[in-house]
Structure 1
Amino acid sequence: MHLGGSVLRLESNLVESPDLSDSALSDATGNEPAEAPTQGRPDVAVCMLDRDGFVVSWSKGGQRFTEQDPDGIVGQPFSALFAERDRQAGLPGTILQKARESHFEGEVLQQRPEGEGFRVRLTVESTRSAGGDVLGFVVVSQDLTAGAAIQESLRQNEEQFRRLVQSVTDYAIYMLDPEGYVSNWNSGAQRIKGYAPEEIVGEHFSRFYTDEDRKNRLPWQGLATAAEAGRFEKEGWRVRKDGSRFWAHVVIDPIRDDDGNLLGFAKVTRDITERMEAQRALEKAREAFFQSQKMEALGQLTGGVAHDFNNLLAAVLGSLELLKKHMPEEPRATRLVNNAIQAAERGATLTQRMLAFARRQELSLEAVEIDALVKGMIELLERSLGPSVTIRANLPSGPLFGKADANQLELAILNLGVNARDAMPDGGLIDIDVREEEGAGVPDALKPGRYICISVADTGEGMDEATLARATEPFFTTKGIGKGTGLGLSMVHGMVEQSGGRLILRSDKGRGTTAELWIPRWSEGAPGQGQVDRALAVEVATKPCTVLAVDDDGLVLLNTTAMLENLGHTVLPASSGRQALNILNERGNVDLVITDHAMPRMTGSELASEIRARSPELPIILTTGYAELPKGANLRLPKLMKPFSEAALARAIADVMNERPAAAAPN
């Protein structure tokens, strides 16, 4: 059997290989032919017709897309493949006639067994004998609906992908050509960077970088890294259309064809400014928490040391005072004793500052007219700081009442002034400013409310970050040996925080320091008429008393007993709370109890509670270093700060005995 050139022509139109040999076709005897190259394609059907137009063979491709199996179609006329209307119109016969004359090629509507029509590209060629007689026909059908469906599916996929990319607004997703020029632009890129597609497509992506980054060639380095390493990822500042900056997370991936040639880059940018700011805020809060923990630990240690030191100083000062009173008049010995007393008093001042830092110093919080207090301090500062320092004050016209301890606040301002002077060895300017703030003007570290800010700013040397971070730690100082204890700022810090406020320091090396004391505004009703003069002497009781003195420290107890006896009182010493209760049970004529607080097994507060349950009117004085009093532990008891002098002891006794009801007064 011979196939003419027309058969080769139809095959070359449909498949890559033009070879369709005789053995691949039926010899019109009805035998199943071998698979032709086209028969492996699911969208191509190949069948053989005899000279009368009946199907003698059917390919697997035809079985797939026409849903006609060989048993159902072999032996059927060619017209069985066509839709009813085309059969009625005689289209199958017309096609075969054209194939006898030459060949047929065109699009027709064929029909599946269920009656569903589908379009095919049909090619029909005749097979002839050596003498030119028609032996049959080769029919090749290509399903056009499958190809159209594939193309439509591809189009839909592309459209879906485009919509997906355009719907992403949290990320800037766009393409770059190999040189870095923008080739497309999604809505996220427009939202984040501010450019419309027509403004940016065709522009180089380096315009999104800062001037510094462009100068350092960072955009081009990013492309080079992506091309060489297969990916570039980094965070950094980027610039929007309006010139504002945002912190961006950037990923650049290269796009290559199947041969590895670079086609361009896919670039994804995300604005993570909020996340960065939140992370910075978290780190700042963590640092503040660690600083708070450190200061709390230092406060506990400092308070405990101060309490024990106060006990020692109480014994030293009391003994020195008694020794001075009873020793003979001898100038040299008197000078030495006075020197020892002054040294011990300096030690007591140090412990006061330590306790202030630990926020365990007893404060007398009341309504203080801050503007008047600062105004009164300026003259003292001018005399104390010397002529090389100029003080400039900015005070409000009306009164501002704050909640503070007036004495401690004056001492804090004096400390700040001395620190400012020491930071300006060649002289300079100190600005003191008083203002009221609330709402947004109040630092975040403070609770919401109204505050009075006392600002002391100098033009001195300033502090670097490391020094500033440790400025309020106890015993930390940048001054020379013997020029500072390192307790000035720590005392101010503790006092202000115990008052419900905050000390805030701002400083830059070479630009001076600003210290701000934030004091709560007085909000507990109208302030009292005038301030109490704490230097006013108290009339000392002249009548002798029987005093129960309690302290677990033998040195302090011996010293307290000696001072009380020197004042003319009868003393019953006890070294524990239990022993004190036993004495009270045995002796019923005790007029006053003076007890230490920090004692083992039974504290002074617990002892006071036991005594009050038995004798509610019995006066009690609590001696303490104020380092160990828990909250709510008999805070209404009169307290005497250690170390105390004989005069301070006498005044404390006078206070409680003068307030005692007349019926309970000693005989």
Structure 2
Amino acid sequence: MIENVTDYAIFLLDETGHVATWNAGAKRIKQYDESEIIGKHFSTFYTAQAKETGYPDYELREALKVGRFEDEGWRVRKDGSVFWANVIITPIYTADKRHLGFSKITRDLSERKKAEDDLFKAYEELKESEERFRLMVEGVTDYAIFMLDPAGHVATWNQGAKNIIGYEAGEIIGRYFSRFYSREAIESGYPEYELKKAREEGRFEDEGWRYRKDGSAFWANVVITAIYNPKKELLGFSKITRDLTEKRRLEQQLFQTHEELKESEEKSRLLIASVKDYAILMLNTEGYITSWNTGAERIKGYNAKEIIGKHFSTFYPREAIERNFPQFELTKALEDGRFEDEGWRIRKDGTAFWANVTISPVYNSEHRLLGYAKVTRDLTERRRNEELTQKNQELVRINNDLDNFVYTASHDLKSPITNLEGLLSALQEDLGPDGEKFNQLLVLMQGSIGTLRKVITDLSEVTKIQPEAIGSESINLPGLLEEVKENLRTLISSSNAEVTTSELTFQNLRYSRKNLRSILYNLVSNGIKYADPQRKPQVSISTFITDAGEFALSVTDNGLGIPNNQFNKIFGMFKRVHDHVEGSGVGLYLVKRILDNSGDRIEVKSEVGKGSEFTIYFHQ
């Protein structure tokens, strides 16, 4: 029986631990032929680390000390591969108590260990307290190991069989093995089916309810192996039965706990997945994304399929990545138990948003790091409001100072200009007929005084800019453009200019009507005044919406153009690029100040000799 058992390596060691016998199961499990291993020390099957610590000799000492040694651990096959083994070592003595050697039974539990590790990884502590599958023959009491004849009648009976099933050897040997099965199993022919499968496949393994002598049921793990002689004649079957009742109870308890845990986790998962205002995601220990909720998709733009498996640094600006800031966040979270920060992050479409980020390390019950929980809130609107508030406060202060200066200057200059006009009129009258030869000079003086008066009038306009928060209303752009063209009718007519709208993606804009009219008036009039003398002035107005959702209005002309190094200069008060063109140098300053007050911006593109494009970006 022992020689033909293939599921167990059953062999003898001499008193020094050298292999004395070798069965088919030992060859199958450990790969050595009998001729290769007989006489070798059994430490051949142990890892280098076990050998270095003297573990094989320790096993023999413990077996001698307590009469039996059982262990589970890694063992090494002939080809160098390792397998998880259940090992039982029992010392063997003569009748006069002289030590002859050891019996050693080894079972390959690699598959079982893999399955148990996969299924019950979360319950390793509980599994450590559970008894391992142990194989025994004869003196082993934890397994029922017995032989059946070819017809299924009990031929041998060991102590473990007596302990587990309750029959004495004299009561059961010669009886058909179906008496261990339920009535339903017997009526359905299940015992015969087990023997048939063992004959066909060489081995049959099953778990199910079996019955003891006293009628009580126990959950059994059963392995039936067909035993053949060298002529391939069936000699019978080896049957190994283990009582797994307690194991099944624990497994059912674990399963119930696992199901409850799954249900609780599923509720938490659904709750997190449905949150839309927060990006809640999990990172593994290296910072790669393992989960993604609805809020993360809404805030950052990626769907789960696109982002899971990628590193979370995907959301950071290049400067932050170059200084390794994402890794710094994880390190600080580990050191302090939690990391919180605010800063710019990047969406899928490349736009930036101001984020509040909290990163917390996640541990298991053994305080082993599982990964990180990362919660992100989009605070772009709040930060924009804070920046605007601060900027507006500063602008209000500057504007108030400037308004006071401009008002005082323009008010103080009005009287001298009026006096000059009066003196010039008096001079013209005093000259009488003789004044004709001074007419050109007088006209120039009147023109200069008129220009000065216009500058003062434009300065007065600066002080009358309407605060955006007060005068905001919905404005129809085509209607306002017509109004501006009507105001510029004389200039348009005298210069033969053409003012058109090329494309209006949106036609309504919420803004101060007075301020928007002033913006369009100054940009359109500049486009006409700064025209190339060799070309007919052409000014085009268009609108569009940017990828970031900003409303943009563009005014394009075919005029003289502006050198790149003059872009910043043109928005200063009294700053002009082309001095030969009539103007006060206040118009673009007025435009820029209106936009600064409302928190909007203007950008310029220009090429000397071809024209300019002024684009205003409004936040709505």
When normalised by structure 2's length, the TM-score is 0.37
Where relative contact order (Cα < 8 A, 6+ residues apart) is larger, the structure is: 1
When normalised by structure 1's length, the TM-score is 0.35
